[in-house]
Every structure is written in structure tokens, then in C-alpha cells.
């Protein structure tokens, strides 16, 4: 059983930074890939960022140049550094891990960008 626990969400003003963390209950080298997805009310869940075991990263078009995904294997943690936040970034952000055919999800953390 794999557990993913997100933290760091909250209210932030437009243009500000915010960092999300996702701690895995198991060694993150067990995963083929980890990433962040987000879902706003009434909208489809979309890819924000992902990183594979080799360290290759990929980003959704709407966040390229503003968000950065990284990992710390010592603490089994994946981070999402968000900069220049916009109101349209408001969503529930979910940590995701993929192992072979299996997908694991965190409980989600709310990010609200508003003045």
C-alpha cells in the first residue's frame, strides 16, 4: 500500500510564490514517475508537472516557465515550486505516483490565488 500526503496549499496573492510538498510512504525510486495534477471546479483534471525515475521532467503548457518540479530522495518527497501565480491557477492540486500499471493519488491540497 502506498500513501501520498500533500501539504503546502493555501491562499496566496496573484504574482506570489507557493511550494507544495508530497511525501511518499515508500521509497520514491519504486515509482516509474511522480507528478502533480490539478482540478478546478467544473473542469477536467490536468497535468501540471511530472518527473520520472531518470529525472526527466515535463510540464503542462499553462505552467511552463512558472512552475518547477523537484524531488528529494532522502526524504521521499516531491516538490512543486509555483511562481508568478495567477487566479486561473486556483484548483485542488493532487500528488500522483505511477508504478507499472498502478496509479496512486494523494488527498489533494487546495490552492487559491486571490487578492
CA 12 – CA 87 distance, rounded (Å): 9
> 98: closest CA among 23, 32, 29?
32
Q: What is the pLDDT of residue 30?
A: 81
CA 20 – CA 49 distance, rounded (Å): 12
Give the model confidence (pLDDT) of 102-115 as tens digits.
Answer: 999 999 999 999 99
Give the model confidence (pLDDT) of 5-62 as tens digits.
Answer: 999 999 999 999 999 999 999 888 888 899 999 999 999 999 999 999 899 999 999 9
Contact (Cβ atoms closer than 8 angstroms) between residue 37 and residue 48: yes
CA 92 – CA 109 distance, rounded (Å): 5
Higher-scoring residue by pLDDT: 30, 70? 70
3-state SS, one letter per residue, for 13-57:
CCCCCEEEEEEECCCHHHCCEEEEEEECCCCCCEEEEEEECCCCE
Q: Which residues contact 67 (CB under 8 A, 6 or more apart)?
A: 48, 49, 59, 80, 81, 82, 83
Amino acid at each position: 500500500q502506498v500513501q501520498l500526503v500533500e501539504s503546502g496549499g493555501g491562499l496566496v496573492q496573484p504574482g506570489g510564490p507557493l511550494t507544495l510538498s508530497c511525501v511518499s510512504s515508500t521509497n520514491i525510486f519504486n515509482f516509474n514517475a511522480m507528478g502533480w495534477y490539478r482540478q478546478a471546479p467544473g473542469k477536467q483534471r490536468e497535468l501540471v508537472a511530472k518527473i520520472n525515475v531518470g529525472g526527466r521532467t515535463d510540464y503542462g503548457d499553462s505552467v511552463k516557465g512558472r512552475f518547477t518540479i523537484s524531488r528529494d530522495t532522502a526524504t521521499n518527497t516531491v516538490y512543486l515550486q509555483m511562481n508568478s501565480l495567477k487566479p486561473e491557477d486556483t484548483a485542488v492540486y493532487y500528488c500522483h505516483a505511477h508504478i507499472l500499471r498502478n496509479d496512486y493519488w494523494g488527498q489533494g491540497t487546495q490552492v487559491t490565488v486571490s487578492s
